[in-house]
Amino acid sequence: FITMASAATIDVSAFLTTPITRLSECTPEHRVIATAIDQALQQHGLFVLEPPSTTSRSTIQELFQHGHEFFDQNKDSKSALPSTSQAGFIRGYLPYGAESGRKEYFEPKEGFSYGYEWDSSKAPLNQLQGPNVWPDNLAAFKAACQSHFQGSVDICQAIVAAIAVALGQDPSALLKYCQGGDTISLMRLFRYHPAVAERTCLGSSPHTDWGFLTLILQDQMGGLQIQRDGTWIDVPAPEPFSFVVNGGDFLALLSKGRYHSPIHRVQTPAVQRLSFVFFYYPKYESDMQSQSWSSSEVAKDTGYNTLMQVEDSDELTTFGSYIQRKWQGVQVAPSGVKLKQ
């Protein structure tokens, strides 16, 4: 496999510590960061992100420790946790081997899904909102996950602001697509297991992501690969922890094809490893019909089930309705095996 050894690691801390809403507020540092992100998203569709100054390495290490504590519970304890998987609203424990993106692969992993901490006393405004489920005996795990969710939202908003600068727009103009998007966004914690000899295995089957951005927090083992011209390229995994930012199908549409949503997969590890994967969505109501884009900006014929590859799309008007239709169409295969984003 080819590697992205030459890819720069980008630090967006300036957009977090000195947030801006207008182009006139840009400093030279803001513009350098925006240019680097622009080039990376055009060339690869993703980039490696240096853990920002607002996120300490000790906090990340503790997060991973709590993640291992959750998965180290016995099978009965994990399976007893309530879980929900309906039309894109996914919460709770995913058992080992229960999900596969493509029928030809077995994915030896287990997972845990959560999102915005929705008040259970309030009625959701759409089908992608609702309360999380947490294990009663792991309070520190819950607190660490909640903190990481909000930190991931902040990082993604900073990246959206940087993208706006790269496109010559006021950050506020692009951030309007994100208002309320945190309430429908999805965090998935995976423990990847080594391959099993009798099956053709991948940690995650080849696919594109449907949303605005995907933020992956990985350890030094890595395993993420992107496809370029039919060749799989290893994405760097700097020690000890790093983020990978992946452009989604919605971003490809919004940028009118300037940025692409890369086909990617995850290799099975030699030993167990963890990864936090944050699917950052625009607001549910984002209009998918009045925009000056076309579905050709997100290819339909790749075989990897992109956002615009949906039946009866004329009746769908919002991003949320597209996501719900996508999940309704792929969550359960005829064999009963769950499929994934």
- DSSP single-letter state for residue 257: T
Highest mean pLDDT among 87-101, 155-169, 255-269: 155-169
Provide mean pLDDT across the span 59-65. Answer: 96
Q: Minimal CA–CA distance to 131: which of 146, 113, 143, 116?
A: 116
Could you tell me which residues come within 8 angstroms of residue 44 by beta carbon, excluding any fewer than 6 positions away? 4, 7, 226, 228, 262
Angstrom CA distances, 17 to 114, 138, 155, 211, stand at 27, 32, 11, 25
Can you list the alpha helix ranges (DSSP code H) found in the chain? 13-17, 28-43, 57-71, 75-79, 139-166, 171-175, 249-254, 319-330
Residues above pLDDT 70, as percent of the chain:
87
pLDDT band at 302 (very low <50, low <70, confident <90, very high): low
pLDDT band at 85 (very low <50, low <70, confident <90, very high): confident
Q: Minimal CA–CA distance to 128: which of 91, 161, 96?
A: 91
Q: What is the pTM of this model?
A: 0.92
Provide mean pLDDT across the span 257-284. Answer: 94
pLDDT band at 6 (very low <50, low <70, confident <90, very high): low
pLDDT one-digit tens code per residue, 146-160: 999 999 999 999 999
**Confidence (pLDDT) at 1:** 45
**Confidence (pLDDT) at 3:** 57
Q: How far apart are CA 45 and CA 39, in angstroms?
A: 9
**Confidence (pLDDT) at 316:** 78
CA gyration radius, the chain: 19
Collapsed DSSP state (helix, strand, coil) of residue 225? strand
pLDDT at 222 over 60: yes
**Confidence (pLDDT) at 310:** 64
pLDDT band at 292 (very low <50, low <70, confident <90, very high): low
Tokens of 107: 């994915």
Provide mean pLDDT across the span 276-284. Answer: 96
Q: Which residue has the higher pLDDT, 297 or 115?
A: 115
pLDDT one-digit tens code per residue, 125-154: 999 999 999 999 999 999 999 999 999 999
Tokens of 156: 């993604």
**Confidence (pLDDT) at 118:** 95
